[in-house]
Amino acid sequence: MSDQAIASVGDLLEKDKHDSSLQRYKANLLGTAAQGDLGGNVSYFIHSVVFEDNRHDITYDLDSEEGIQHLRDTPFVMEEGAKYKFAVFFRVNREIVSGLRFRNKVRRHVFSVSEEVVLGSYAPQSTTHEFLFPRHEWAEAPSGLMYRGTYQAECKVRRDPH
């Protein structure tokens, strides 16, 4: 990364401080980040499993410790061959978040399948972002006698370390 790269929203707002029209432009572009939203850089609100037939979407509220614990403690049953997507709703606060990634890992016994998708980079704003995975088609749950059983899934949203 260049030595001239801007490290934070505060640095971005301080640069060219003498130009009032540029300051108004930056405040308009950054929205509430210019005033400083509270909270961490990224707030995750809801994680859902959305089914193609809209029968029984499964939603977990991740805005509190109780909601996170409920997600860990409450497994759900997915029918064989069901078509589904994961939905994650989040908001970016205070600082620009670059290289946000979504990783889904599913395990059964010693076998595992992992997929990772780049969500992108986001400027701070008060509106909530929605991400659906997979983006274009539906994922399909395994079907058949050999695939019946209990699976463990791990979904992570993380920043690119580079």
pLDDT tens by residue, 130-151: 888 888 899 888 888 888 888 8
Chain centre distance of CA 139: 18
- The letter for the amino acid at 134 is P
Place of tokens 């805005």: 63
Contact in structure between 55 and 141 (CB atoms under 8 Å): no
- The letter for the amino acid at 72 is R
Domains, in order of start, for the chain: 1-36 (no CATH), 42-159 (2.70.50.30)
- The letter for the amino acid at 145 is L
Mean pLDDT, residues 110-135 taken together: 85
Q: What percent of the chain stands above pLDDT 70? A: 76
pLDDT tens by residue, 30-55: 665 555 555 555 666 677 888 887 67
Distance of alpha carbon 80 from alpha carbon 26, whole angstroms = 50
